[in-house]
C-alpha cells in the first residue's frame, strides 16, 4: 500500500483512534490497548496470571522503595535499595490504577524481552519479584544519568562531557551504540519498535543504554505464546513523531528489523535538525504525515553523506532501507572516517589558498594565475620563452616558503585520500595544487620539475586534463629550448673541451718543435744546410697532424664549437703556411731568410683565432710575432727563435686551457 492510497479521512477511519489517544502527545509512546482501561483493573492484589505461573515469579530479595524516578503510561520506575546486597536499584512496576492481568502480562513480557536482549547497552534485569500486593516488580540496574533527548535539546551543548569537543561526532557515537544494542536484539528475533532519543540514557560514566522495551515484539516463532509477536500487533504502537509507515498500518504491513532501521534514521534526523520528523502537535496529523512520509527537509548545511543516510534509512519501502542496524552503523562509521578526511582536506585547501597567494606575491605587480586556473594563460605564456614569460621578484625566503606550503598542502590532500580513497574533493584539490606548482616551475624556467608534477595528477577532471595538456606542451617546448640553449652555451663555452684542446695543442707543439730542435742542433755543425724540402716536409706533417687529430677526436670535438674552430683554424693556418713555402720555393727565395715570413703567417692566423675564437691565441700570435722580430734582429740564431716561439707560445696557451678545464662544470 502506497502513501497515495488513502486520504487523510480514510486513513484516520482505518485507525479508529479513541478520543483518549487523539489528545496523546506526539512524542510519547502509544502502547497497544492503553487507550482502553481494562475492566478488571483494581487496586487490590493482582491476580495470578498464566504468565506469572509460567515464569514462576515469587518472593525475592527484600526491597526498600525510596522515591519515584519516572512515571509512564503503564508503569512507574522507583528508586529502591536491595537490602541483601546493599545497593541501589531501579524498580519498574505497574501504576496502582492499572493493576490488571493484561498489564501484569505486559510488564512481565517486557522483563523477559529485556532479559533476553542481554547486551552492554541494554539495562540489565537483576530479578523479577512480587510486591506485597502480588504485583510484579522488575528489578534493574539503576542508571544515573540523563536522557539523550535532554542532551539533544540543550543546543548549547552544556550537558555534553567536557572533552566532547565535537558535538556531532559525540551524538553519532551514541547512535552507533544504540545500533549495537539493536543488532543484538535483532539477532535474537526481537525488534524494539520505539527507538527515539528519549528512550536512550547516557550515564555518568559514559554508559549508553537503549531503554523501554515495552512495545517490543518478536519475529521468532520460537517465542510465540511467550513474547508478543509482530504479526499480533493490531493497533498503533510506538511514537507518532518518529513512526515508520508500516507502524501506522497495523495488520496491513509487515513489521521487522527494517522498522528499527527506519527509527534509527528518524533519530538521526533529530540529531541533525533538533526536532523529530513529524512534530505536529496533533497526533492525527503526525500519524498521517508518518503514513505519507511528509517530513520537513534537512537543513542546507547538512553533510551530504549524512543526508543520504537519513534518506535511505527512512525509505517508505523497507527493501530500499539499510539491510540491518549494523549496516546503518557502518554507514555512520564511514561518515565519521570520511569526515576526518574532509577536515584534513579542508585544512589542505586553506594551505593551498595561502600557497597561491605566496606564488602571486612573487610575480611583478602581484598578478598571478588564480587557484584552479594554472593553465589559463598557457597560450600567452607559450610565446614568451623559457626565462622571460613572467617577471618575478622572488627571494630565497619566498622560494622556501612556497616549497614549505606546497609540501604541507600536498601532504594534506594525500592524507585525506589515504583516509578516504573516494574523496573526490581531496583528489581534485591535489590535482589543483600540482597544476599551480607546475605553472610556478614553468615561470622559473624549470620544465622538468613541471613535467614531474603534471605526471602526478590523479584522475583529473576534463578541465584539469586540458590544463595538463597545455602545460605539458609548454614544458616540453621549454625543455627543448632549454636543452638547445644549454648545448649552445656549452658549445661556445671556452671551458668545454679545454683539456682536449690543450693536449692536442701540446702534442702539435712537440710535433712542430722537435724537428726544429734537431735543425738547430745540426746547425752548429759545419756541414748542415736547411733546405726547402725539409721545411715543406715538416710543415706537411703538421698539417697532416691536425687533420688526422681532428678525425680521431671528432666525437670529443663535437662537444665544443671552440675546439672544432681551434683545430680547423690551426690546420688551415699551417696549410696556408705550406702554400706560402711552396710559392717562395718556386720563386727561388732563400729558405732561411723566409722563416720570419712563415712565423708572421702563423702569428697572423693565431691573431685571427684570438679575435674570433679564444683570446688565449693572442699569446700564441705574440710569440710567433716576437720570434719573427728576433729572427730579423739576430738572423744567425733563427733556428733558436723558432724553437722558443713554437714551444713557449703553445705551452702558455695549453696551461691556460688546463686551468679553465679544472673550473669547467662537470
Tell me: the pLDDT tens digits for 138-147? 999 998 889 9
Of 15 and 319, the one with more pLDDT: 319
Residue 640, domain member (yes or no) = yes
Tell me the per-residue pLDDT of 489-544, one tens digit each, with 9 for 90 and over: 666 666 776 777 787 788 877 777 777 777 767 665 555 688 899 889 888 988 88
Where does the pLDDT of residue 381 fall: very low under 50, low under 70, confident under 90, or very high at 90 and above? very low
Q: Tell me what the mean pLDDT of segment 450-471 comes to.
A: 93
Strand partners, 76: 71, 93
Residue 95, domain member (yes or no) = yes
- Give the separation between CA 218 and CA 117, rounded to whole angstroms: 11
**Pair (635, 565) in one structural domain:** yes
**Pair (454, 521) in one structural domain:** no
Does 380 have pLDDT greater than 80?
Answer: no
Percent of the chain residues past pLDDT 70, beyond the cut:
87
What is the distance, to the nearest Å, from the Cα of residue 59 to the centroid of all Cα atoms in its chain? 64
- Give the separation between CA 135 and CA 46, rounded to whole angstroms: 6
- Give the separation between CA 189 and CA 79, rounded to whole angstroms: 31
Residue 1, domain member (yes or no) = no
**Pair (443, 555) in one structural domain:** no
Whole-number pLDDT of residue 518: 73
C-alpha cell at 109: 513480557
Where does the pLDDT of residue 451 fall: very low under 50, low under 70, confident under 90, or very high at 90 and above? very high
Tell me the per-residue pLDDT of 208-223, one tens digit each, with 9 for 90 and over: 999 999 899 999 999 9
**Pair (542, 479) in one structural domain:** no
By the 8 A CB rule, do 387 and 445 touch?
Answer: yes
| Number of compact structural domains in the chain | 3
C-alpha cell at 123: 539495562
**Pair (35, 169) in one structural domain:** yes
C-alpha cell at 657: 686551457
Which contacts qualify for 433-438: CB closer than 8 Å, 24 or more apart?
A: 433/352, 433/355, 433/406, 433/409, 434/410, 435/372, 435/374, 435/375, 435/464, 435/467, 435/468, 435/471, 436/352, 436/355, 436/356, 436/359, 436/369, 436/371, 436/374, 437/355, 437/406, 438/374, 438/471, 438/475
By the 8 A CB rule, do 209 and 143 touch?
Answer: yes
**Pair (211, 144) in one structural domain:** yes
**Pair (368, 318) in one structural domain:** no
Whole-number pLDDT of residue 32: 64
Residue 3, domain member (yes or no) = no
Residue 387: partners with Cβ closer than 8 Å, 6 or more residues away = 445
Query: Which phi and psi angles does 35 have, rounded to 5°?
Result: -75, -10
Average pLDDT over the chain reads 84
Does 347 have pLDDT greater than 90?
Answer: yes
Query: Which phi and psi angles does 79 have, rounded to 5°?
Result: -85, 130
Does 297 have pLDDT greater than 90?
Answer: yes
Tell me the per-residue pLDDT of 588-605, one tens digit each, with 9 for 90 and over: 999 989 999 999 999 999
Of 494 and 583, the one with more pLDDT: 583
DSSP state of 79: E
- Give the separation between CA 414 and CA 418, rounded to whole angstroms: 6
- Sign (positive or negative) of CA dihedral 186, 192, 193, 195: negative
Residue 27: partners with Cβ closer than 8 Å, 6 or more residues away = 196, 198, 239, 240, 241, 276, 279
Helix (H, G, I), strand (E, B) or coil at 315: coil
Does 33 have pLDDT greater than 50?
Answer: no
Whole-number pLDDT of residue 53: 52
Which of 490, 511, 538 is the endpoint of a domain? 490
Whole-number pLDDT of residue 116: 93
With b for 16 or more beta-carbon neighbours within 10 A and e for fewer, the 212-244 pattern comes to bbbbbbbbeeebeebbbbbeebebbbbbbbbbb
**Residue owning grid cell 625543455:** 479
Whole-number pLDDT of residue 213: 93
Which of 468, 490, 512 is the endpoint of a domain? 490
Domain range enclosing 245: 8-323
Residue 2, domain member (yes or no) = no
**Pair (245, 264) in one structural domain:** yes
Which of 490, 509, 544 is the endpoint of a domain? 490
Of 168 and 560, the one with more pLDDT: 168
What's 156's domain CATH number?
Answer: 1.10.510.10
Residue 607, domain member (yes or no) = yes
- Sign (positive or negative) of CA dihedral 507, 508, 514, 515: positive
Does 234 have pLDDT greater than 60?
Answer: yes
The pTM assigned to this predicted structure is 0.63
**Pair (315, 378) in one structural domain:** no
**Pair (28, 143) in one structural domain:** yes
**Pair (477, 515) in one structural domain:** no
Residue 328, domain member (yes or no) = no
Tell me the per-residue pLDDT of 45-84, one tens digit each, with 9 for 90 and over: 455 555 555 544 555 567 889 999 988 777 899 999 988 8
Q: Tell me what the mean pLDDT of segment 383-411 comes to.
A: 74
What count of other Cβ atoms lies within 10 Å of the Cβ of residue 590? Answer: 10
Residue 330, domain member (yes or no) = no
Where does the pLDDT of residue 7 fall: very low under 50, low under 70, confident under 90, or very high at 90 and above? confident
**Pair (449, 525) in one structural domain:** no
Whole-number pLDDT of residue 383: 41
| Angle in degrees, CA 475, 479, 483, rounded to 5 | 175
Strand partners, 71: 76
Amino acid at each position: 500500500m502506497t502513501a497515495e492510497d488513502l486520504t487523510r479521512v480514510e486513513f484516520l477511519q482505518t485507525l479508529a483512534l479513541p478520543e483518549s489517544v487523539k489528545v496523546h502527545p506526539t512524542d510519547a509512546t502509544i502502547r497497544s490497548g492503553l487507550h482502553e482501561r481494562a475492566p478488571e483493573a483494581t487496586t487490590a492484589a493482582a491476580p495470578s496470571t498464566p504468565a506469572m505461573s509460567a515464569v514462576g515469579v515469587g518472593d525475592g530479595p527484600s526491597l526498600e522503595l525510596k522515591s519515584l524516578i519516572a512515571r509512564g503510561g503503564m508503569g512507574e520506575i522507583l528508586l529502591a535499595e536491595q537490602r541483601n546486597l546493599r545497593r541501589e536499584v531501579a524498580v519498574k512496576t505497574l501504576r496502582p490504577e492499572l493493576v490488571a492481568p493484561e498489564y501484569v502480562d505486559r510488564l512481565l513480557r517486557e522483563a523477559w524481552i529485556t532479559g533476553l536482549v542481554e547486551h552492554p547497552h541494554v539495562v540489565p534485569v537483576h530479578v523479577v519479584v512480587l510486591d506485597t500486593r502480588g504485583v510484579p516488580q522488575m528489578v534493574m540496574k539503576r542508571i544515573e544519568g540523563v536522557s539523550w533527548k535532554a542532551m539533544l535539546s540543550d543546543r548549547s551543548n552544556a550537558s555534553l562531557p567536557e572533552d566532547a569537543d565535537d558535538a556531532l561526532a559525540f551524538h553519532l557515537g551514541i547512535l552507533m551504540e544504540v545500533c549495537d544494542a539493536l543488532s543484538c536484539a535483532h539477532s535474537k528475533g526481537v525488534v524494539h519498535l520505539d527507538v527515539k532519543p528519549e528512550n536512550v540514557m547516557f550515564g555518568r560514566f559514559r554508559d549508553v543504554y537503549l531503554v523501554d522495551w515495552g512495545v517490543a515484539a518478536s519475529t521468532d516463532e520460537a517465542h510465540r505464546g511467550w513474547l508478543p509477536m509482530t504479526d499480533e500487533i493490531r493497533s498503533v504502537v510506538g511514537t507518532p513523531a518518529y513512526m515508520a509507515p508500516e507502524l501506522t498500518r497495523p495488520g496491513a504491513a509487515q513489521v521487522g528489523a527494517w522498522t528499527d532501521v527506519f527509527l534509527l534514521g528518524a533519530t538521526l534526523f533529530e540529531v541533525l535538525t533538533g526536532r523529530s520528523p513529524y512534530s505536529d502537535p496533533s497526533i492525527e496529523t503526525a500519524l498521517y504525515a508518518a503514513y505519507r512520509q511528509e517530513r520537513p527537509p534537512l537543513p542546507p548545511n547538512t553533510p551530504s553523506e549524512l543526508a543520504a543516510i537519513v534518506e535511505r534509512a527512512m525509505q517508505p519501502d523497507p527493501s530500499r532501507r539499510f539491510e540491518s542496524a549494523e549496516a546503518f552503523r557502518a554507514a555512520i562509521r564511514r561518515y565519521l572516517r570520511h569526515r576526518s578526511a574532509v577536515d584534513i582536506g579542508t585544512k589542505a585547501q586553506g594551505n593551498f589558498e595561502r600557497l597561491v597567494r605566496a606564488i602571486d606575491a612573487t610575480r611583478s605587480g602581484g598578478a598571478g594565475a588564480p587557484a584552479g586556473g594554472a593553465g589559463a594563460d598557457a597560450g600567452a605564456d607559450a610565446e614568451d620563452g623559457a626565462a622571460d614569460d613572467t617577471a618575478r621578484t622572488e627571494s630565497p625566503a619566498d622560494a622556501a616558503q612556497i616549497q614549505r606550503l606546497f609540501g604541507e598542502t600536498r601532504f594534506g590532500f594525500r592524507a585525506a585520500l589515504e583516509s578516504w580513497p573516494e574523496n573526490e574533493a581531496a583528489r581534485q584539490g591535489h590535482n589543483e595544487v600540482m597544476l599551480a606548482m607546475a605553472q610556478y616551475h614553468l615561470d622559473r624556467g624549470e620544465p622538468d620539475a613541471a613535467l614531474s608534477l603534471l605526471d602526478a595528477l590523479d584522475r583529473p577532471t576534463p578541465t584539469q586534463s586540458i590544463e595538463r595538456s597545455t602545460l605539458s606542451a609548454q614544458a616540453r617546448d621549454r625543455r627543448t629550448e632549454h636543452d638547445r640553449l644549454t648545448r649552445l652555451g656549452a658549445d661556445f663555452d671556452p671551458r668545454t673541451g679545454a683539456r682536449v684542446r690543450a693536449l692536442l695543442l701540446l702534442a702539435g707543439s712537440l710535433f712542430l718543435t722537435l724537428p726544429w730542435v734537431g735543425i738547430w742542433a745540426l746547425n752548429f755543425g759545419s756541414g748542415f744546410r736547411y733546405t726547402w724540402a725539409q721545411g715543406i716536409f715538416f710543415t706537411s706533417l703538421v698539417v697532416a697532424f691536425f687533420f688526422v687529430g681532428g678525425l680521431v677526436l671528432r666525437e670529443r670535438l663535437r662537444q665544443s664549437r671552440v675546439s672544432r674552430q681551434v683545430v680547423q683554424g690551426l690546420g688551415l693556418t699551417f696549410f696556408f703556411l705550406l702554400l706560402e713555402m711552396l710559392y717562395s720555393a718556386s720563386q727561388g727565395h732563400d729558405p732561411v731568410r723566409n722563416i720570419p715570413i712563415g712565423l708572421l703567417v702563423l702569428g697572423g692566423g693565431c691573431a685571427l683565432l684570438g679575435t674570433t675564437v679564444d683570446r688565449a691565441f693572442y699569446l700564441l700570435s705574440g710569440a710567433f710575432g716576437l720570434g719573427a722580430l728576433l729572427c730579423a734582429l739576430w738572423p744567425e740564431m733563427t733556428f733558436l727563435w723558432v724553437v722558443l716561439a713554437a714551444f713557449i707560445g703553445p705551452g702558455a696557451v695549453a696551461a691556460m686551457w688546463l686551468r679553465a678545464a679544472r673550473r669547467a662544470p662537470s
